[in-house]
Structure 1
C-alpha cells in the first residue's frame, strides 16, 4: 500500500537500542566516534562537496537524520520528518557538519570529555579539522599544483543508531563518494534523484530500518521460548569472574585513549606467529590482557578472569525488504573466561594455550546453535535492566530512594568482568583504499563517551599496521593501576608476540 508523504515517520526503539539510549540521556554515555587521519587536496574536502556527500548518506541511512522522543520507559521512538526539498536535505546536512581547528588529540578529548556533541535532536555529525600542509611527495604523487594537506575527521553517532560495522562502512562510503570523479554538480543531481525517490512522490509508509529484535528469527512456539529462557539462564550462571580493577570515586570522569601502532613488518611477524599457533590476533589479545593483568595484580589466583566482547549478529538477521540501510545496531555480547593464576615457568606456552582457549570460546559463542535465542534473551535482559536503572536514576533526581538489593542478587557467585575488548579485525577489508585515490588514510582511532570507571581495549589492523588502544577513565581507578596494566600489555606484546 502506498500513501502520500506523511509529515513524520516513527518506530519504537527495540530492547538493544533502548539499552543504549537510556544511559545516554544525561551526558552522552556510549556516543561513538570514529577518528580518521588522512591527506587530501582542499578541493576534495570543499564544504559544498562534503555537504552533498553527507546529505546523500543521511538520505540512504535515515536513522542518522532522525530525532528521538521518549514518551515512557517502554515507549521511546525514532522520529523522521521528511525533507520538503533537496535544498532542505542539504541544509540539514550542513547543520551537522562542523569545521574546527585542532589536533587529533584535541578533537578526541573535546568529544570524550567536553560538553556532549550529540543529542536527541542530533544523532550524528561530522567534525573536520585541517592541520597542516603535507609535503611527502614520495607517498602522495602530485598531479597538479594544489598542495595536499593533513586532515582529521570525526564521524560521530549515538550507539543506539548503529555499531562499529556501520561506522566503518559509512566512512568507506563517505571517502569513496568524496574521491569520485563526479563534480559537485553531478552529486547534486544524484541527491535530487534520491530525494525524489524518497520524498518527491508516493512511497511506502514503512521507511525506517527495523530493530535488531524484529530482524532476528522469531520463536516457533511456547516450548521453544521456555527452553530458550532456561538455556540463557544456565549459560549466564556458568560465568565466573573474580578479578576487576580497583576503582576510586570523587573526581570527574576523564577518558584517555593511549594508542600504539606496530609498523607493517612487525605486524606481519605477529600475524605469521599467530597463524603458526592456529589463532587470530583477536584471540591472542584476550590472552595478552589475562597475562598483563596477572603481572599487574593477582590477589585472587583461585578465581578466573573474565573478559567480554561484542558479538556481530548481522549474519543471523532476516532481510529488511523495505530498507537496505546498514545503519542499525546488531550486536550482542559474549564472555571469555581464563585462569586467574600465572605459572612461574613457561609463560609462553601458557600464553598460547590460553589464546587457543579464547579462540575456542569465541567460536563457540558465535556458532552456538542457541546464539539467536540467547541474543534475544540478552537483549531483553539488557533492555529491562536499562529501564529499571533509568527509573531509579530519575527517581533519585527527584528524591525517591532506590530499593535495597535483594538477598538473591547479593548472594550470587562472583561474576565481575575485568575488561571489555572491542576486536575489529582487519579493517582494510572494509576500507577499499583503491576506491578513493584522492584520499590517503593513515590513522584510525575509535571509541565512545564513557561512564565513570569504564574501560575498553581496542585491537584492529588498518593500513597494514596492528593498532591497540585503551580507552579508560583515568580518574575512575586506583592511582597507577591502569598505567601499570597498559605497560604490561605492551611488554607482553613485545615478549610473547
Structure 2
C-alpha cells in the first residue's frame, strides 16, 4: 500500500495477448445482446493496477470474525446481500481490460435482470471450513484469488471445530427498543463461529470502501428482513437502476482525478512530476531494515489486541499528551527502531509513510442511486523523526511524547495540503523508508453494531498481498480494543531482525502507553 509499492511493486510486463471482455459468469442467454459500460482508469488507479498483474501485489482483504445464528449465514441469504451490494457498487462486478500501459479500462456488463445479479454474486462467493489464520495465509501466500476477470470475491468460512456456542446478547437498556425485533427472531438459538473474507482489488477502492462495505453487508445480513424480502429488495433496486434506463458510462464511479474540484490539466502535470520525484527521492531517511534475497515471498501478520480497559487507559494517556493513538504509533515505531541499534549510526533520521484519505476534499457528488463509495481515493505522506533516544528514563518518555506530537503536526500538514504536500527535500542525504503505517482510527465509528444485534463481530484483520520485502504496520480500535498488527515478508529481511523490532515495539507500548 505504500509509495514504494506504487512505483516499484513489480516489473512491468507486456499485456496478455488474449485479454478480452470477461463476463464469464453471465448467463449464456444474455451474451448476444449484452450491454457493456466502460471507462479508462485514472493515473492513481493505474499505479495500483500495473504492479498487480504479476502476482496480485496490493490485492486487499478484510477479515472479520463473528458469531451469529446459522440461518443468518445461509448461502441464500449471504448471496442476496452480496448481490445487492454488487448491484449498488458496479466496480465490484466489473472487469479490467488492458489495451496499453496508459489505457486500461473498467468494463461493466449491465445485468439483464435481478436473477442475473444473483448468478454473478453466486459465482464470486465461496464457502469454506478454514480457520482464520489458514484463511488469511491462503489469500496472502497461495495462488491469487482475484484476476482481471474477478475484481472482488467473498469467502465465508465456518471452521470445522466450532467455538463454544454462545447465547444471543442481552439488550442494553439504552438500545432495548432497537434490538428487540432481531433478538425476538433469534431468541434461544445458538450462535456459531464464522469468518468472513472480503477480497477486492486495490485499484477499485481503499480501506474506507472496505469497512463501509462490511458495515453495509452485516446491516443486510443481520437485519430483520427475511431471505425473500432481501430478494425482493434486489429486484426493486435492479428495476430502479436499469429498467428503462439509458446506458451511460458515467454511471460508473469516477476516477479520483475527476473528483478533484479544480482544473486538473495543469495541476495534474505538476502533481505527477512532484509525485514522481518524491517516489524517487522519498525525502530524507537513513534507516531501513537489513534485507536478504529469497526466491519466495511469504507474508505473515502477527496481531495483538489489548483489553478494553487497557485500551481506554491508553487513549486517555494519549489525549493527556495532546495526540491520538495514531500519532503515538509513529513514535512507537521510531523508539523501537532506535533501541535496536541495527548497524549502528543513528545520526540519520527515520522516515515512515502513511495513507491520506482524500474523500473529504471532493466536491463532485453523484446523485443516488449512482453514489457508490467503491472507488480509490488515497494519497501518501511521510513522517520524519530523529532516530536517537535518550538513555535516561524520564528524558526518554518526554522524547517519546514529543516525537508523537511531531508526527501529529506532520500528518496535519499533509492533510492541509492534500494534493501537493510541502515536505522538506534534501537530495544530498541518503533516503530510505523504514516501513509504512496504515492507521485506521476508531473503526467502531464505522461499524454500527447496534444495527445488526444478532451478529457479534469480535475480530478484524486487514491487509493486502505484498511485494517482496514489504512491511506495513496496522493500528486501529475495534470492539473497544486497540489492535496492532505487522504484515511483512518474513523471507525478505535478515533473520530475526523483524521479530526483535516487533518485540521492542510491544515493549515501548507497555512502557509509554501503559
Partner of 2:365: 320
User: Which of 463, 472, 477 in structure 2 is aligned with 1:461?
Assistant: 477
Alpha-carbon shift at residue 413 of structure 1 (Å) = 3.2
How many residues are aligned here?
455
Return closer, same or farther for 1:195/1:457 CA change in 2, 3 Å cut-off. Answer: same
User: Which of 412, 432, 444 in structure 2 is aligned with 1:416?
Assistant: 432
Q: After TM superposition, list the pairs within 5 Å mapping 1:334-345 onto structure 2.
A: 334-345=381-392
Partner of 2:350: 305
Return closer, same or farther for 1:120/1:226 CA change in 2, 3 Å cut-off. Answer: closer
* TM superposition score normalised by structure 2: 0.85
Partner of 1:34: 62
Alpha-carbon shift at residue 297 of structure 1 (Å) = 2.4
Q: After TM superposition, list the pairs within 5 Å mapping 1:324-473 onto structure 2.
A: 324-345=371-392, 346-368=395-417, 371-373=418-420, 413-473=429-489
- Contact 1:217–1:372 under 8 Å retained in 2: no
CA displacement, residues 423-444 of structure 1 (integer Å, 9 cap, x when unaligned): 0000000000000011000000
Greater relative CO (CA pairs within 8 A, separation 6+): 1
Partner of 1:152: 195
- Contact 2:285–2:431 under 8 Å retained in 1: yes
Secondary structure at the counterpart of residue 176 of structure 1:
helix
CA displacement, residues 92-134 of structure 1 (integer Å, 9 cap, x when unaligned): 0011111001110000000000000011000111111113154
Return closer, same or farther for 1:98/1:228 CA change in 2, 3 Å cut-off. Answer: closer
Partner of 1:483: 499
Structure 1 distance, partners of 2:35, 2:166, is 52
Structure 1 distance, partners of 2:360, 2:457, is 28
Bigger CA drift: 261-270 or 213-222? 213-222
CA displacement, residues 207-263 of structure 1 (integer Å, 9 cap, x when unaligned): 1000001111223885x7787689778988792100000110124110000000000
Structure 1 distance, partners of 2:445, 2:106, is 31
Residue 169 (str. 1) matches residue 212 (str. 2): yes
Structure 2 distance, partners of 1:145, 1:289, is 47
CA displacement, residues 266-297 of structure 1 (integer Å, 9 cap, x when unaligned): 00110000000000000000000000011112
Q: Which runs of 4+ in 1 moved over 3 A?
A: 136-145, 219-222, 224-238
- Contact 1:243–1:300 under 8 Å retained in 2: no
Q: After TM superposition, list the pairs within 5 Å mapping 1:21-420 onto structure 2.
A: 21-131=49-159, 132-137=162-167, 139=169, 143-205=186-248, 206-219=250-263, 239-298=283-342, 299-321=344-366, 323-345=370-392, 346-368=395-417, 371-373=418-420, 413-420=429-436
Partner of 2:18: none
- Contact 2:257–2:264 under 8 Å retained in 1: no
Alpha-carbon shift at residue 6 of structure 1 (Å) = 7.0
Alpha-carbon shift at residue 343 of structure 1 (Å) = 1.7
- Contact 1:58–1:93 under 8 Å retained in 2: yes
CA displacement, residues 414-458 of structure 1 (integer Å, 9 cap, x when unaligned): 221100000000000000000001100000000000011000000
Return closer, same or farther for 1:13/1:65 CA change in 2, 3 Å cut-off. Answer: same
- Contact 2:169–2:454 under 8 Å retained in 1: no
Partner of 1:407: none
Unaligned runs of 5+ in 2: 1-32, 172-182
Secondary structure at the counterpart of residue 442 of structure 1:
strand
Structure 2 distance, partners of 1:273, 1:65, is 45
* TM superposition score normalised by structure 1: 0.87
Bigger CA drift: 415-424 or 291-300? 291-300
Secondary structure at the counterpart of residue 242 of structure 1:
coil
Structure 1 distance, partners of 2:458, 2:503, is 25
Return closer, same or farther for 1:188/1:374 CA change in 2, 3 Å cut-off. Answer: same
Structure 2 distance, partners of 1:431, 1:321, is 24
TM-align CA RMSD: 2.2
Return closer, same or farther for 1:139/1:196 CA change in 2, 3 Å cut-off. Answer: closer
Unaligned runs of 5+ in 1: 376-410
CA displacement, residues 334-383 of structure 1 (integer Å, 9 cap, x when unaligned): 00000021222221111001000000000111013xx23559xxxxxxxx
- Contact 1:251–1:476 under 8 Å retained in 2: no
CA displacement, residues 288-309 of structure 1 (integer Å, 9 cap, x when unaligned): 0000011112423110000000
Return closer, same or farther for 1:48/1:229 CA change in 2, 3 Å cut-off. Answer: closer
